Amino acid sequence: MKRYRDKVIDLFRNTDKFSHQAATVVGWTAISQIIMFLGIPFVSRIFTPEAFGVYAVYAAVIYILNGVVSLGCELLIPNPSSDEEGATLFWVSIINLLLVTIVISILLLISNYTAVWETLNLTALSHYQWLIVFGAVAIGLRNCLLYWFTRIRRFNQVGKARFLQAPVIVFVQVGVGYLYPHPDVLIIGGVLSWLISDIYLLMKLDGEQRKLLRQGQATQYFSVLQSNKAFFSHTTSSLFLLNLSNYLPTILFAISFDPAVAALYALAYQAFSPLDLISNAIIQLYIGEGNRIVRNHPLQLKTFYKKMLVGLSLITIVPITIAAIWGGPIFGFVFGAKWYHAGVYAQIMAFAMMMRFVVIAASQNLAVLKKQGLNLAWSSIYIVLILAAFIPANLLAGFTKAEYTIVLLSCMMMLSYFILVLLNFGVIHRQIPNYVGSNNNGFREQAES
């Protein structure tokens, strides 16, 4: 026992500052997620599925815009070695945010003079269209500030900014919602959670950091866009497709059926969100270990990939089976009787969500082998398959039950993940011989020298 304790102490002693601070961010984020998850049973008992559905669609729109509202430029802020260049990228991100917001505002203004909202069956959301603009600005500014604080290694502030969102949204949606159970409260709670994060980070900008930001040169806007053209064209598209694939079904359920069905789907989907936290950690580990294998023993990558697929399947099979069998009763007990059908949706989606977790977490060989273009192609295929799942609900008279669409959507999801697995095996089969030859040449050169 003492030896184990000593090893743990040594581990923390030897942990570098970056790892410790990165763990701080993860810790604050995890606490935030737990608070929000614990708040859901209260929110679900206060608000009807119809009210929650309006908020679910609003949040889906915001999170789709989240990755592109600054054109992904904020991702570049931590990269340059020069603080002046980092500050310039910060201001370029802010300019992108303003320009994209203007475009969104113009599109929303045009929608007021057309029947877009009625045609899409989103009349309820049309009352909150200007909160879409405000929400996009709030979450876009938050992203820019978070990446600036990441650049200056203020990880504790980054973690706290993420954490503060949870108590604010839970307090507003539960506390105020109890007195006034209306979609307004849900949406305003979400906006305020992003806004409080912005205010906190702005208050934490001390004189030195403000001085650094003033060194940024917004006049270099076009030169920055030109020099990072490839990044914007590829990364922005990837981020948009990724967010679209996650949140588009919620909007499509509202369009094809009604906001209440969208709410039931959104809650069923959110119930599997803990898998995403685990998946993100596994992705980082896989990329690190995958790169090491490619450098040293490239022929072992295929075996490593197979073991990851099997291992992750075994880890999730029991909880997923429980969800597939008793999802309805569990949701009815935890979230209230009116959310029983969300549990039924979770039952139908269970094995598709299991496949999503297993395949996405393990299938990082496209990144490891520098074939991100194929990942972009797969994301496009995935979006097309999701759209295809909703065609019968809009064209066939007998496809009026949402459960039919849930079944079809789950099948399309599993098909897309199967395609991703095939792509990964195909890339390994084609690319690994090149790495083997490269490594052999390297060893031969070392032996000759």
SS3 of 221-254: the string is: HHHHHHHCHHHHHHHHHHHHHHHHHHHHHHHHHH
Residues 59 and 103 placed together within one structural domain of the fold? yes
The answer to whether the CB of 253 falls within 8 A of the CB of 43 is no
Q: What pLDDT sits at residue 443? A: 36
Instruction: Indicate whether 186 belongs to any domain.
Output: yes
Residues 194 and 317 placed together within one structural domain of the fold? no
Instruction: Indicate whether 424 belongs to any domain.
Output: yes
Q: What pLDDT sits at residue 22? A: 57
Residues 247 and 279 placed together within one structural domain of the fold? no
Residue numbers in the chain where pLDDT is lower than 70: 1-26, 277, 281, 284, 397-398, 436-449
Q: What secondary structure letter does DSSP report for 82? A: S
Q: What pLDDT sits at residue 14? A: 42
Instruction: Indicate whether 259 belongs to any domain.
Output: no
Instruction: Indicate whether 5 belongs to any domain.
Output: no
Residues 155 and 97 placed together within one structural domain of the fold? yes
Q: What pLDDT sits at residue 241? A: 85
- Where among 219, 251, 283 does a domain terminate? 251
Strand, coil or helix: 293: helix
Q: Among all chains, which residue has been given the structure tokens 């999170």?
A: 63
Residues 331 and 280 placed together within one structural domain of the fold? yes
Instruction: Indicate whether 223 belongs to any domain.
Output: yes
Q: What pLDDT sits at residue 4? A: 40
Give the total number of structural domains in the chain.
2
Instruction: Indicate whether 173 belongs to any domain.
Output: yes
- Where among 184, 218, 251 does a domain terminate? 251
Residues 285 and 244 placed together within one structural domain of the fold? no
Residues 291 and 234 placed together within one structural domain of the fold? no
Strand, coil or helix: 327: helix
Identify the domain containing residue 207 by its residue range: 17-251
Instruction: Indicate whether 322 belongs to any domain.
Output: yes
How far is the C-alpha of 104 from the C-alpha of 93, rounded, in Å?
16
Q: What secondary structure letter does DSSP report for 19? A: H
Instruction: Indicate whether 10 belongs to any domain.
Output: no
Residues 288 and 229 placed together within one structural domain of the fold? no
Q: How far is C-alpha 127 from the geometric centre of its chain's CA atoms?
A: 26
Q: What pLDDT sits at residue 27? A: 76
The answer to whether the CB of 30 falls within 8 A of the CB of 167 is no
Q: Among all chains, which residue has been given the structure tokens 């909703």?
A: 390
Residues 220 and 307 placed together within one structural domain of the fold? no
Residues 247 and 104 placed together within one structural domain of the fold? yes
- 16 CB contacts (<8 Å, ≥6 apart)? none
The answer to whether the CB of 58 falls within 8 A of the CB of 130 is no
Residues 365 and 395 placed together within one structural domain of the fold? yes
Other C-beta atoms lying within 10 Å of the C-beta of residue 430: 11
Summarize pLDDT for 98-155 with one digit per residue, the tens: 999 999 999 998 888 777 888 888 888 888 888 999 999 999 999 999 889 888 878 8
Q: In the structure encoding, which two tokens stand for residue 292, read together?
A: 């090491």
- Where among 251, 281, 306 does a domain terminate? 251
Residues 22 and 53 placed together within one structural domain of the fold? yes
User: Half-sphere exposure (CA, 13 Å, Cβ side) for 169?
Assistant: 25
